[in-house]
Chain A
Amino acid sequence: MRRLRICLAICVCKVARWGLRIVGRGGTNLPGKLAMRCCPDILGVLGQQVFTIVITGTNGKTTSARMLEQCLENGAVPAFSNRSGANLLPGITAEFVANASLGGKMRLPYAVIECDEAAFRRAARHLDAKIVLVTNVFRDQLDRYGEITHTLNSIRAGLEDSPNATVCVNADCALSAGMVAGLPNAVRYFGVETAFAQGGDEGTDMARCACGAAYLYEYKTYGHLGLYRCDTCNAGRPAADVAVTAVLDEAPDTSTIEVRVGGEIHQVTVNLPGAYNIYNAAGVMAAAAAADVLNLGMAVISAALREFRGGFGRMERLTVGDVTVRMILVKNPIGCSQVLRYLASVTEPMALVFCLNDKTGDGKDVSWLWDVDTAPLIQMGDMLASVTCSGIRADDLAVWMKYAGVDEAKICVEYDYDKLLAAVAKSSVPVMIMPSYTAMLTLRDMLAKQYGLKQFWE
């Protein structure tokens, strides 16, 4: 009976997924939901056959997964991944089913799975991960989760349900580091040991020691990340097993860093710019080093970081007509502040396009815009050619830009995506498109159809 249920779940899921793709939709959640309806523990049945590396946390999940996937590919480790970014329980389930035979046998022995931080609580017990990478914890979509404490509790509960996992945690993030206290699991820390980014004016989350005292900071890299300590109980940032010791070069398309792994110093080039991608690379190196059964040497990891391709819409570089376009997903104040800081560091003229929706996938509350540090936009001066505001909440974007001090003559509103993309294709300067999540899916789909780019699930 049980075998029948498993088989049925797999059939239903595969057929639904195939059907949705035939009609040109990247259906990622519905097939998984159907499978779970047929066999509630389908993910557990399939998950226990696989060595799974789970990536969770607020920012950097998708990019870290792409980096790690490339490491495995270069190391000839047969693995699959939820590439489409469907990172809730049904999406993860559908990905496992897609890689299973009708009889319920997994075809590949390894998996790199990004998991939404709120969904991790429920997904963990099925997945029985061998490695969990927690990238960081920032405030994000408070209309959905209420408070950041909720996110911390969810990840913590997921970790408690992952007894066989080595946990890789951002040492510079006091919220994440505090969360692993008292876990029986092996813990590996990664971090940055140079004050390279220097935090700006974004609204930050308060990090407090377990004793209640506010942490004192020697420096902050961004947000609440940095070198912190508590004088009351002599606690502070844990020593990092994987540490970025120097940032040698921050180019428009890459960063070159010096990193200490297991006492040895390596030079690594990361194939995406921005301070947050340096953190992502450090996390991935920690996870790759923790997965010693994979035998990935630093040569393999370093080559993978140099050549991996970012996830769809994550600093993705596209050519639209003759125009160089970067699609940069923005979804919370910390991430958006980091993107603007990166843009200000690129010393060439550019046009910006913000595209803000307020559907469930974006967050219904768009107030977070006002927590973004917009000072870099003003620093850009003449390098900033124009700011186009689009999406369902285009008008809110325009007001936000006006009060940020952007010259009103540079601000325009365009609701129509066809006209928007036509204008992008005619731009005389590179265009940086910063969409919220659902806006990114729509724009990405239109670009794929009009300019022959890959669909997001490919």
Chain B
Amino acid sequence: MELKICHLYPDLLNLYGDRGNVVTLARRCAARGIDVSVTGAPLGERVNFADFDLFFIGGGQDAEQAVLLDEIQGWRGAEIKAAIEDGKVMLAVGGGYQLLGHSYKAPDGKETDFIGALDFTSVGVKERMTGDYMFEWDEPREAVDIVGFENHNARTYLGSGVRPFGKVLAGYGNNGEDGTEGARYLGVFGTYSHGPVLPKNPVLADFLIRLALERRYGGGVELAPIDDALEERAHGFMAGRLRG
């Protein structure tokens, strides 16, 4: 089997070790003999989205995100939206997650249009929401707790067209008000969790890989189990700390 990963804007959206997510996906595929490749899609460079099974987009600093706004509001945004509607699997973190929504409203009232692929909006606030956090994700056969680190100064409010990715157990999540974290829509998983999120949450990493493989090869893909003792321990440490 083979799996093709596309890393969107690795040059600009590279904050908070997000590339650890791509490394994790690639290594977990390789450990099972899946032929995996990672291709970057930097600013101004067109790639054929139809070639890829799994997309990753990370977060950036405000100045860096401003640079790619033209592209996001233009041709690239349209391509990302089409890929999502086509059912491609995508993990979007932090700033990259926000970009998939309708818009961002700055504290001074200025509104910026984003891709609008997912039904949510974000509103900038002065107080940053920062710290270790945890949310419950009930999509796998058994619900799991996802641990990570959040650091955002926008509150995200979900519309009726998306479901939350999870239910906040500790920390802020989307907005610190309604207990939701992230957004789920078709093959898209949007979250504020960096840290990066996948190394310590191997269940999520494998879920994404399996979903992408099933889309390419048809249903019923089973991933061979691999040794996750270190990953589980790192997960357990943080989950234990947050449960208090």
Give me the interface of A with B, judged by CB distance under 8 Å.
139, 142-143, 146-149, 203-204, 206, 208, 333, 364-371, 393, 395-396, 398-400, 402-403, 405, 408, 411, 413
Contacts and interface: CB of A to CB of B under 8 A. Distances in A.
Nearest to A214: B67
A400 B199 contact: yes
A206 B12 contact: yes
Interface in B125-153: 128, 130-132, 149, 151, 153
B230 A395 contact: yes
Interface of B: 11-12, 14-20, 23-24, 27, 61-64, 67, 128, 130-132, 149, 151, 153, 194-196, 199-200, 230-231, 233-234, 236-237
B192 to A, nearest CB: 12
B150 to A, nearest CB: 9
Given A364-B132, A371-B19, A147 B237 contact: no
A58 to B, nearest CB: 15
Given A146-B128, A146-B153, A396 B234 contact: yes
Given A395-B233, A399-B234, A367 B16 contact: yes
Given A149-B62, A399-B200, A403-B199, A370 B19 contact: yes
B10 to A, nearest CB: 9
Contacts of A368: 16-17
A109 B244 CA distance: 52
25 contacts: A139-B15, A142-B15, A142-B16, A143-B151, A146-B128, A148-B61, A149-B63, A206-B11, A365-B130, A367-B16, A367-B17, A368-B17, A370-B18, A370-B20, A393-B237, A395-B230, A396-B200, A398-B233, A399-B199, A399-B200, A399-B231, A403-B20, A403-B27, A405-B27, A411-B230
Nearest to A206: B64
Contact of B17 (A206, A369, A402): A369
A390 to B, nearest CB: 13
Contacts of A367: 16-17, 20, 149, 194-196
A408 B17 CA distance: 21
A142 B15 CA distance: 9
A203 B14 contact: yes
A142 B14 CA distance: 13
A395 B199 CA distance: 11
Contacts of A204: 14
A142 B23 contact: no
B27 to A, nearest CB: 6
Contacts of A408: 230
A148 B195 CA distance: 18
Contacts of B17: 203, 333, 367-371
Contacts of A148: 61
Contacts of A143: 130-131, 149, 151
Contacts of A395: 230, 233-234, 236-237
Given A203-B14, A364-B132, A403-B199, A398 B230 contact: yes
A416 to B, nearest CB: 15
Nearest to A333: B17
A355 to B, nearest CB: 15
Contact of B131 (A333, A364, A402): A364
A440 B64 CA distance: 33
Contacts of B130: 143, 364-365
A206 B23 contact: no
A347 B33 CA distance: 34
A139 B64 CA distance: 13
A320 to B, nearest CB: 27
A26 B151 CA distance: 32
B140 to A, nearest CB: 20
A149 B66 CA distance: 13
A206 B65 CA distance: 11
A427 B196 CA distance: 33
Contacts of B61: 147-149
A403 B14 contact: no
Contacts of A411: 230
A402 B199 CA distance: 10
